[in-house]
Structure 1
Amino acid sequence: MNSTFWFAIVLGGIALAIYFLSSGKDTNALSAEEVQQKIASDTNIVILDVRTNIEYTTGHLPNALLIPVQELNERITELNKFKDKEFIVYCRSGNRSRTATSILTRNGFKAFNMQGGILRWTGDIVK
């Protein structure tokens, strides 16, 4: 009985942890569709591409600034002139942009990661 009780407690704790971890939404993330709506309705945003130079030249979102995520910490002061704006950050699939969004947020910027990156983008691309 005692081991059954502890097994039930541990199993319940694991179930609760899974529930809370899977139900949490990344508050700094937007879908590609939400980004398109935001771009269409808000002029107070900066679009930041954090891919490599080569990736950028193959196609990027209109008006996107390029700072590869590997250079963002060293070049963060270049963005200070946009401190009053919101940033939409993207990469190829959303992983590098998640890192860049964290860097921007830690440095006092309001930033959102475009989930799924440019792979999910259905809007115009500049080549």
Structure 2
Amino acid sequence: MTMQFVIHNWYLFVALGVILFLLVMGPLSQQLHGIKNANASQTVQLINREDGVVVDVCEPKEFQAGHIPNAVNLPLSALSNRLRELDKFKSKPVIVTCRAGNRSMKGAVILRKHGFATVYNLSGGLLAWEKDNLPVEK
């Protein structure tokens, strides 16, 4: 009976496999590339104590609507082509952020692949930053 269910509903099991694969790949990719997560208070410490640099991968309109003070805006869509602009920061901690923290992981992977030594992903992005009542520039 159980095997019949599996055979008749094979597509459900394939979908389950795909979903599980996607859930595992995010953290696995992060670990493989040596990217650390940083919350908002850790990001403040990285900026103040280690001269960390915030790279915001939001599109320009989002960035203009609000961003972490002194953040460098390099949209994810153009990041690979504009990496030279960040060369002077290769030896510093780089914290990658976006609005909610989803695109920033992709940006962090790109930076690690191009030789940036210490790369962090701001967990929760600008939304987490604002939730902690930290300053935002417009």
Give the shorter-chain TM-score range. 0.7 to 0.9
CA 1:80–1:40: 2 relative to 1, 3 Å: closer
Name the TM-score, length of structure 1 as normaliser.
Answer: 0.75
Residue pairs, 1:1-127, within 5 angstroms: 27-43=35-51, 45-109=52-116, 110-121=118-129, 122=132, 123-127=134-138
Could you list the per-position Cα deviations for residues 70-117 of structure 1 after superposition, in whole angstroms to 9, with x for gaps in the alignment?
Answer: 100111122112211110110011110000000001111021000100
1:15 equivalent in structure 2: none
Distance 1:50 1:63 in 2: 14
Distance 2:72 2:48 in 1: 18
Residue 36 of structure 1 aligns to which amino acid in structure 2?
V
SS at match of 2:79: helix
Distance 1:86 1:36 in 2: 12
CA RMSD of aligned residues (A): 1.9
Distance 1:74 1:40 in 2: 29
Name the TM-score, length of structure 2 as normaliser.
Answer: 0.69
Moved over 6 A (4+): none
2:39–2:123 Cα contact (<8 Å) kept: yes
Q: Percent identity?
A: 37
Distance 2:48 2:93 in 1: 14
SS at match of 1:84: coil
> Any gaps of 5 or more consecutive residues in structure 2?
1-23
> Any gaps of 5 or more consecutive residues in structure 1?
1-20
